[in-house]
Amino acid sequence: MAHMGQFSVSVRLTGPTGRSEEVGLLVDTGAFHLVLPRELAERLELVATRWRRVRTAGGETATWPLAEVRLTVGDDELPTLCLIAASGPGLLGSVALEGLLLGVDPLNKRLVPIESPYL
């Protein structure tokens, strides 16, 4: 069950071979990258290009693979990096949100367009 202010959004993810899937991701502004469970990453045929040390919300440290995936939210899409977790929910982190110029309205549990902060 999501905590107050947490919510899921429907997105389309596309891997490097064109495999695509519509999934629900938990919006998590405390997460830096997009995080996908290994099972989903395997279905999308994502290819890990490097490994990164991460600290989980529970305070544990681990080394997770990092891959690129194409993320589509509504009519907007962009290639973004994603961390591949052994299990758990998919998370939509701050890098992907900012790349899509989307902010979070936690009261109404939705994503909202934002203006680019740079000219």
Q: Report the distance separating Cα 84 and Cα 109, nearest Å.
A: 25
| Rounded percentage of the chain residues whose pLDDT exceeds 90 | 81
| Rounded percentage of the chain residues whose pLDDT exceeds 70 | 93
Q: Report the distance separating Cα 73 and Cα 9, nearest Å.
A: 8
Q: What's this model's pTM, rounded to 2 decimal places?
A: 0.89
The reported pLDDT for the residue numbered 1 is 45
Q: Is the pLDDT of residue 118 over 70?
A: no
Q: What is the pLDDT of residues 2-57, one digit of tens each?
A: 455 579 999 999 999 999 999 999 999 888 999 999 999 999 999 999 999 999 88
Average model confidence (pLDDT) across the chain: 92
Q: Report the distance separating Cα 92 and Cα 108, nearest Å.
A: 17
Q: The domain at 24-113 falls in which architecture?
A: Beta Barrel (2.40)
Delimit the domains of the chain by residue range: 24-113
The reported pLDDT for the residue numbered 119 is 56
Q: Report the distance separating Cα 96 and Cα 77, nearest Å.
A: 10
The reported pLDDT for the residue numbered 58 is 84
The reported pLDDT for the residue numbered 56 is 85
Mean pLDDT of 76-93: 95
